[in-house]
Amino acid sequence: MKSIITLPASSQALAFDGEPSDAELDAIEREMPLIVAEVDLLDVEIALLDRPVTELDAQRLRRRRRRVLAVRRDLTNRATVQSGGAV
């Protein structure tokens, strides 16, 4: 049987206070439009789970899907521009 030896915790592990860092909060803030668009899409999908889809429902679903794609495109383009872009 092997013995388990505990190693001393690093100073970074001790400094963790359970809260997100400023960089993590900034990343969440940048992605907030995508989060909201995905939640809106999920709301529509949940509403359509237990009933037949009408033409109006299908239109709402398509509109939410297009919104998610547009926000993803915008975030990707913004990240590409900030990182210097591709050749």
pLDDT of residue 16: 67
The mean pLDDT value for 21-42 works out to 95
Residue 12 has pLDDT above 60, yes or no: no
pLDDT of residue 81: 81
Please count the CA atoms within 13 angstroms of the CA of 21 that sit on its side-chain side: 5
Q: Positive or negative, the Cα torsion across 29, 31, 36, 39?
A: negative
Residue 11 has pLDDT above 60, yes or no: no
Lowest mean pLDDT among 1-10, 11-20, 46-55, 75-84: 1-10
39 alpha-carbon distance from chain centroid: 10
Question: What pLDDT band is residue 48 in, cutting at 50, 70 and 90?
Answer: very high
pLDDT of residue 18: 85
